[in-house]
Amino acid sequence: MSLPVSYPPNPTPEQLVAALRQLSPTARVLARLQHLLADPNSGLDDISALLKLDASLVTRVIQVSNSIIFRRGDPSRTIDEAVNRIGFREIFRLVAIVASNAVASGPYAAYGLNAEDVWTQSVGNALAAELIAEQTGEDYSTAYTAGLLQTIGRMPINQYSLHLDPNRRFADTGFPNDYSTAELALLSYNQSKVSAYMLQKWEFPPALIKPVQHQYEPLSAPEPHDTLAAVIYAGRLLRTLHADGLAVPFAPEEDEVLGGLRMDRDRLAQLLPQFEMQLDRARQITAAMQIRTGGR
Protein backbone atom coordinates (compact mmCIF):
# COMPACT_ATOMS: atom_id res chain seq x y z
CA MET A 1 0.00 0.00 0.00
CA SER A 2 1.52 3.32 -1.03
CA LEU A 3 1.83 6.19 1.39
CA PRO A 4 -0.47 9.19 0.83
CA VAL A 5 1.04 12.08 -1.09
CA SER A 6 1.83 15.15 1.01
CA TYR A 7 2.45 18.70 -0.21
CA PRO A 8 3.87 21.81 1.43
CA PRO A 9 1.79 25.01 1.36
CA ASN A 10 2.03 26.76 -2.02
CA PRO A 11 4.17 24.06 -3.68
CA THR A 12 6.73 24.97 -6.32
CA PRO A 13 6.93 23.14 -9.67
CA GLU A 14 9.85 21.17 -8.25
CA GLN A 15 7.75 20.06 -5.27
CA LEU A 16 4.81 19.09 -7.48
CA VAL A 17 7.08 16.90 -9.60
CA ALA A 18 8.78 15.41 -6.53
CA ALA A 19 5.35 14.29 -5.29
CA LEU A 20 5.07 12.05 -8.36
CA ARG A 21 7.93 10.08 -6.78
CA GLN A 22 8.99 8.44 -10.05
CA LEU A 23 9.40 9.81 -13.53
CA SER A 24 8.98 7.48 -16.50
CA PRO A 25 12.30 5.97 -17.70
CA THR A 26 10.88 5.95 -21.23
CA ALA A 27 11.02 9.74 -21.32
CA ARG A 28 14.76 9.65 -20.59
CA VAL A 29 15.24 7.29 -23.54
CA LEU A 30 13.29 9.75 -25.70
CA ALA A 31 15.60 12.55 -24.51
CA ARG A 32 18.65 10.53 -25.54
CA LEU A 33 17.03 9.73 -28.87
CA GLN A 34 16.57 13.46 -29.38
CA HIS A 35 20.33 13.92 -28.97
CA LEU A 36 21.01 11.10 -31.47
CA LEU A 37 18.75 12.68 -34.06
CA ALA A 38 20.66 15.95 -33.69
CA ASP A 39 23.98 14.16 -34.33
CA PRO A 40 24.68 13.74 -38.07
CA ASN A 41 27.10 10.92 -37.24
CA SER A 42 24.48 8.72 -35.57
CA GLY A 43 22.72 5.90 -37.39
CA LEU A 44 20.26 3.06 -36.96
CA ASP A 45 22.78 0.98 -35.00
CA ASP A 46 23.01 3.75 -32.39
CA ILE A 47 19.21 3.87 -32.13
CA SER A 48 18.99 0.09 -31.69
CA ALA A 49 21.58 0.23 -28.90
CA LEU A 50 19.64 2.98 -27.16
CA LEU A 51 16.28 1.22 -27.38
CA LYS A 52 17.78 -1.91 -25.84
CA LEU A 53 18.03 0.02 -22.57
CA ASP A 54 14.22 -0.15 -22.20
CA ALA A 55 12.72 -3.64 -22.46
CA SER A 56 9.18 -2.33 -22.92
CA LEU A 57 10.30 -0.21 -25.87
CA VAL A 58 12.02 -3.19 -27.48
CA THR A 59 8.83 -5.25 -27.22
CA ARG A 60 6.58 -2.51 -28.59
CA VAL A 61 8.88 -1.60 -31.49
CA ILE A 62 9.19 -5.24 -32.62
CA GLN A 63 5.41 -5.69 -32.33
CA VAL A 64 4.62 -2.66 -34.44
CA SER A 65 7.29 -3.53 -37.02
CA ASN A 66 5.41 -6.81 -37.52
CA SER A 67 2.01 -5.14 -37.82
CA ILE A 68 0.28 -4.56 -41.15
CA ILE A 69 1.52 -0.96 -41.08
CA PHE A 70 5.19 -1.92 -41.62
CA ARG A 71 5.13 -5.66 -42.39
CA ARG A 72 7.36 -6.66 -45.32
CA GLY A 73 8.65 -10.21 -45.72
CA ASP A 74 9.54 -12.31 -42.69
CA PRO A 75 8.66 -11.05 -39.19
CA SER A 76 11.25 -9.06 -37.25
CA ARG A 77 12.79 -11.14 -34.48
CA THR A 78 15.20 -8.60 -33.00
CA ILE A 79 15.21 -4.87 -32.31
CA ASP A 80 17.94 -4.41 -34.95
CA GLU A 81 15.74 -5.99 -37.62
CA ALA A 82 12.74 -3.92 -36.49
CA VAL A 83 14.66 -0.63 -36.54
CA ASN A 84 16.07 -1.33 -40.02
CA ARG A 85 12.60 -2.20 -41.31
CA ILE A 86 10.91 0.89 -39.91
CA GLY A 87 13.63 3.42 -40.73
CA PHE A 88 15.23 6.41 -39.01
CA ARG A 89 12.38 8.92 -39.04
CA GLU A 90 9.56 6.46 -38.47
CA ILE A 91 11.35 4.84 -35.53
CA PHE A 92 11.55 8.26 -33.90
CA ARG A 93 7.81 8.79 -34.33
CA LEU A 94 7.08 5.30 -33.03
CA VAL A 95 9.23 5.72 -29.92
CA ALA A 96 7.62 9.10 -29.31
CA ILE A 97 4.13 7.59 -29.52
CA VAL A 98 5.13 4.80 -27.14
CA ALA A 99 6.58 7.43 -24.83
CA SER A 100 3.36 9.44 -24.94
CA ASN A 101 1.45 6.36 -23.78
CA ALA A 102 3.91 5.80 -20.95
CA VAL A 103 4.54 9.42 -19.95
CA ALA A 104 1.43 11.44 -20.79
CA SER A 105 -1.21 8.84 -20.06
CA GLY A 106 -4.56 10.02 -18.69
CA PRO A 107 -7.08 10.50 -17.42
CA TYR A 108 -6.62 13.97 -15.94
CA ALA A 109 -9.82 14.28 -13.96
CA ALA A 110 -9.18 17.85 -12.77
CA TYR A 111 -9.04 18.90 -16.43
CA GLY A 112 -12.04 16.82 -17.44
CA LEU A 113 -9.82 14.87 -19.87
CA ASN A 114 -10.06 11.12 -20.32
CA ALA A 115 -7.17 8.95 -21.54
CA GLU A 116 -8.16 9.33 -25.19
CA ASP A 117 -8.36 13.13 -24.82
CA VAL A 118 -4.87 13.29 -23.30
CA TRP A 119 -3.41 11.06 -26.03
CA THR A 120 -5.11 12.98 -28.84
CA GLN A 121 -3.94 16.34 -27.54
CA SER A 122 -0.32 15.29 -26.94
CA VAL A 123 0.14 13.35 -30.19
CA GLY A 124 -1.92 15.92 -32.10
CA ASN A 125 0.27 18.75 -30.81
CA ALA A 126 3.36 16.76 -31.84
CA LEU A 127 2.19 16.02 -35.37
CA ALA A 128 1.01 19.58 -35.90
CA ALA A 129 4.28 21.08 -34.65
CA GLU A 130 6.22 18.70 -36.91
CA LEU A 131 4.20 19.74 -39.97
CA ILE A 132 4.73 23.42 -39.25
CA ALA A 133 8.45 22.91 -38.59
CA GLU A 134 8.77 21.32 -42.02
CA GLN A 135 7.02 24.33 -43.57
CA THR A 136 9.29 26.83 -41.81
CA GLY A 137 12.63 25.02 -42.00
CA GLU A 138 12.87 24.17 -38.29
CA ASP A 139 14.10 20.82 -36.96
CA TYR A 140 11.14 18.43 -37.23
CA SER A 141 12.25 16.04 -34.47
CA THR A 142 12.71 18.78 -31.88
CA ALA A 143 9.34 20.29 -32.83
CA TYR A 144 7.63 16.90 -32.63
CA THR A 145 9.06 16.12 -29.20
CA ALA A 146 8.29 19.60 -27.86
CA GLY A 147 4.72 19.29 -29.10
CA LEU A 148 4.34 15.84 -27.60
CA LEU A 149 5.52 16.85 -24.14
CA GLN A 150 4.46 20.51 -24.01
CA THR A 151 1.56 19.81 -21.59
CA ILE A 152 3.22 17.07 -19.50
CA GLY A 153 3.08 19.50 -16.55
CA ARG A 154 -0.65 18.84 -16.28
CA MET A 155 0.11 15.45 -14.74
CA PRO A 156 1.50 16.69 -11.39
CA ILE A 157 -0.94 19.61 -11.34
CA ASN A 158 -3.82 17.19 -11.81
CA GLN A 159 -2.57 15.07 -8.92
CA TYR A 160 -2.20 18.11 -6.66
CA SER A 161 -5.62 19.50 -7.52
CA LEU A 162 -7.34 16.19 -6.83
CA HIS A 163 -5.44 15.94 -3.55
CA LEU A 164 -6.91 19.28 -2.47
CA ASP A 165 -10.39 18.75 -3.89
CA PRO A 166 -11.39 15.58 -5.80
CA ASN A 167 -14.33 17.46 -7.30
CA ARG A 168 -12.34 20.40 -8.73
CA ARG A 169 -12.59 20.89 -12.48
CA PHE A 170 -10.44 23.44 -14.27
CA ALA A 171 -12.18 25.66 -16.82
CA ASP A 172 -10.87 25.47 -20.38
CA THR A 173 -10.88 28.98 -21.89
CA GLY A 174 -9.84 27.64 -25.30
CA PHE A 175 -6.97 28.71 -27.52
CA PRO A 176 -4.54 30.27 -26.80
CA ASN A 177 -4.54 29.99 -22.99
CA ASP A 178 -6.41 26.70 -22.48
CA TYR A 179 -6.48 25.97 -18.73
CA SER A 180 -3.85 28.55 -17.77
CA THR A 181 -6.24 30.91 -15.95
CA ALA A 182 -7.40 28.12 -13.63
CA GLU A 183 -3.83 26.88 -13.08
CA LEU A 184 -2.64 30.39 -12.24
CA ALA A 185 -5.49 30.83 -9.76
CA LEU A 186 -4.49 27.63 -7.98
CA LEU A 187 -0.70 27.84 -8.13
CA SER A 188 0.34 31.31 -9.38
CA TYR A 189 2.03 29.62 -12.36
CA ASN A 190 0.74 27.47 -15.21
CA GLN A 191 1.64 24.05 -16.54
CA SER A 192 4.25 25.36 -18.98
CA LYS A 193 6.61 26.06 -16.09
CA VAL A 194 6.05 22.58 -14.66
CA SER A 195 6.50 20.98 -18.09
CA ALA A 196 9.81 22.79 -18.59
CA TYR A 197 11.06 21.59 -15.21
CA MET A 198 10.10 17.99 -16.00
CA LEU A 199 11.94 18.15 -19.33
CA GLN A 200 14.97 19.50 -17.50
CA LYS A 201 14.81 16.56 -15.07
CA TRP A 202 14.67 14.16 -18.02
CA GLU A 203 17.79 15.89 -19.47
CA PHE A 204 16.25 17.24 -22.65
CA PRO A 205 18.30 19.99 -24.34
CA PRO A 206 17.59 23.71 -23.70
CA ALA A 207 16.60 24.04 -27.37
CA LEU A 208 13.50 22.06 -26.47
CA ILE A 209 12.93 23.18 -22.87
CA LYS A 210 12.87 26.94 -23.48
CA PRO A 211 10.21 26.88 -26.23
CA VAL A 212 7.98 24.68 -24.05
CA GLN A 213 8.40 27.13 -21.19
CA HIS A 214 7.25 29.98 -23.48
CA GLN A 215 4.52 28.09 -25.36
CA TYR A 216 1.80 30.53 -24.27
CA GLU A 217 3.87 33.64 -24.91
CA PRO A 218 6.20 32.91 -27.86
CA LEU A 219 6.81 36.60 -28.53
CA SER A 220 8.60 36.89 -25.18
CA ALA A 221 10.79 33.82 -25.71
CA PRO A 222 14.53 34.62 -25.89
CA GLU A 223 16.42 34.08 -29.12
CA PRO A 224 17.11 31.57 -30.58
CA HIS A 225 14.19 29.77 -28.90
CA ASP A 226 11.48 32.16 -30.07
CA THR A 227 10.95 30.46 -33.44
CA LEU A 228 10.31 27.01 -31.99
CA ALA A 229 8.06 28.55 -29.33
CA ALA A 230 6.04 30.05 -32.20
CA VAL A 231 5.98 26.67 -33.97
CA ILE A 232 4.56 25.03 -30.83
CA TYR A 233 1.95 27.79 -30.55
CA ALA A 234 0.99 27.40 -34.21
CA GLY A 235 0.86 23.63 -33.83
CA ARG A 236 -1.55 23.91 -30.94
CA LEU A 237 -3.71 26.21 -33.06
CA LEU A 238 -3.68 23.70 -35.94
CA ARG A 239 -4.73 20.89 -33.59
CA THR A 240 -7.46 23.15 -32.16
CA LEU A 241 -8.76 23.96 -35.65
CA HIS A 242 -9.01 20.22 -36.26
CA ALA A 243 -10.82 19.59 -32.98
CA ASP A 244 -13.10 22.65 -32.78
CA GLY A 245 -13.49 23.78 -36.40
CA LEU A 246 -12.28 26.77 -38.40
CA ALA A 247 -14.41 29.21 -36.41
CA VAL A 248 -11.98 29.20 -33.44
CA PRO A 249 -11.76 32.87 -32.31
CA PHE A 250 -8.62 34.78 -33.27
CA ALA A 251 -6.13 35.33 -30.44
CA PRO A 252 -4.70 38.85 -29.85
CA GLU A 253 -1.11 37.90 -30.78
CA GLU A 254 -1.95 35.28 -33.39
CA ASP A 255 -1.16 37.35 -36.50
CA GLU A 256 2.19 38.47 -35.12
CA VAL A 257 3.20 34.97 -34.00
CA LEU A 258 2.18 33.33 -37.27
CA GLY A 259 3.63 36.23 -39.26
CA GLY A 260 7.04 35.54 -37.72
CA LEU A 261 6.78 32.07 -39.26
CA ARG A 262 5.59 33.53 -42.59
CA MET A 263 2.27 31.82 -42.08
CA ASP A 264 -1.33 32.74 -41.38
CA ARG A 265 -4.50 30.90 -40.39
CA ASP A 266 -5.44 30.17 -44.01
CA ARG A 267 -2.09 28.42 -44.51
CA LEU A 268 -2.67 26.40 -41.34
CA ALA A 269 -6.09 25.34 -42.59
CA GLN A 270 -4.45 24.00 -45.76
CA LEU A 271 -2.39 21.65 -43.58
CA LEU A 272 -5.46 20.07 -41.97
CA PRO A 273 -5.84 17.14 -44.44
CA GLN A 274 -2.19 16.16 -44.00
CA PHE A 275 -2.48 16.54 -40.22
CA GLU A 276 -5.59 14.35 -40.10
CA MET A 277 -3.87 11.67 -42.20
CA GLN A 278 -0.88 11.61 -39.83
CA LEU A 279 -3.15 11.48 -36.78
CA ASP A 280 -5.03 8.51 -38.24
CA ARG A 281 -1.71 6.75 -38.83
CA ALA A 282 -0.65 7.41 -35.22
CA ARG A 283 -3.93 5.86 -34.06
CA GLN A 284 -3.25 2.80 -36.21
CA ILE A 285 0.19 2.39 -34.63
CA THR A 286 -1.25 2.73 -31.14
CA ALA A 287 -4.02 0.25 -31.97
CA ALA A 288 -1.42 -2.24 -33.19
CA MET A 289 0.40 -1.98 -29.86
CA GLN A 290 -2.78 -2.39 -27.84
CA ILE A 291 -4.06 -5.37 -29.83
CA ARG A 292 -0.81 -7.26 -29.43
CA THR A 293 -0.44 -6.47 -25.75
CA GLY A 294 -4.03 -6.98 -24.72
CA GLY A 295 -4.67 -3.24 -24.28
CA ARG A 296 -3.30 -0.83 -21.71
In a shared domain, residues 116 and 177: yes
Whole-number Å distance between alpha carbons of 178 and 244 = 13
Q: What is the pTM of this model?
A: 0.87
Task: Name the residue range of residue 235's domain.
Answer: 106-281
In a shared domain, residues 248 and 115: yes
In a shared domain, residues 98 and 112: no
Span 117-122, average pLDDT: 91
In a shared domain, residues 249 and 270: yes
In a shared domain, residues 156 and 34: no
pLDDT of residue 294: 41
Whole-number Å distance between alpha carbons of 148 and 143 = 8
Q: Residue 295 above 60 pLDDT?
A: no
Query: Do the beta carbons of residue 278 and residue 89 sit within 8 Å?
Result: no
Residue 129 lies in a domain: yes
Helices (H), the chain: 13-18, 25-38, 44-51, 55-65, 79-86, 88-103, 115-136, 140-149, 154-164, 180-187, 191-201, 206-213, 226-244, 254-260, 265-270, 272-293
pLDDT of residue 132: 97
pLDDT, one tens digit per residue, over 235-269 is 999 999 999 999 999 999 999 999 999 999 999 99
pLDDT, one tens digit per residue, over 19-66 is 987 767 777 778 888 777 777 787 778 888 888 877 777 887 888 788
In a shared domain, residues 277 and 192: yes
Closest by CA position to 232, among listed 209, 249, 250: 209
**How many domains does the structure of the chain reveal?**
2
